[in-house]
Amino acid sequence: MFTLGFVKWDQPWWVVLLLSFASTGIGAALSSFHALITEGIDKKQRGTVTSLYSSMRFIGVASGPPISALLMQH
């Protein structure tokens, strides 16, 4: 995805198309990964593991844009 910034795009619909494919793949992966986590963990620990997994996902979402902004400055 970093190479997208170095390519000159004449028409922006290519970016929309690539991001649509990427988001579809990420959505499919996240839902199946969540199912793997909930099925592979004992019922007593399932709530703790699910909350840790969700917390890490949202920490990544919250920290991703500032880290990307710092990387783009250098």
Q: What is the residue type of 8? A: K
Q: Look at residues 60, 40, 59, 62 and name the one whose alpha carbon lies nearest to residue 50.
A: 40
pLDDT band per the 50, 70, 90 thresholds, residue 7:
low
Any domain includes 1? no
Which tens digit of pLDDT belongs to each residue from 14-69? Answer: 778 888 999 999 888 888 888 888 888 888 998 898 899 889 889 988 999 999 89
Pairwise CA distance, residues 53 & 1, whole Å: 24
Cβ contact 4:15 at 8 Å: yes
- Average pLDDT score over residue span 2-18: 70
Quote the number of domains for the chain.
Answer: 1
In a domain, 58, yes or no: yes
Q: Does 4 map to a domain?
A: no
The boundaries of the domain holding residue 61 are: 9-73
Q: Which amino acid is at 22?
A: A
18: in domain: yes
The pLDDT of residue 59 is 93
Question: 71 vs 14, which has greater pLDDT?
Answer: 71
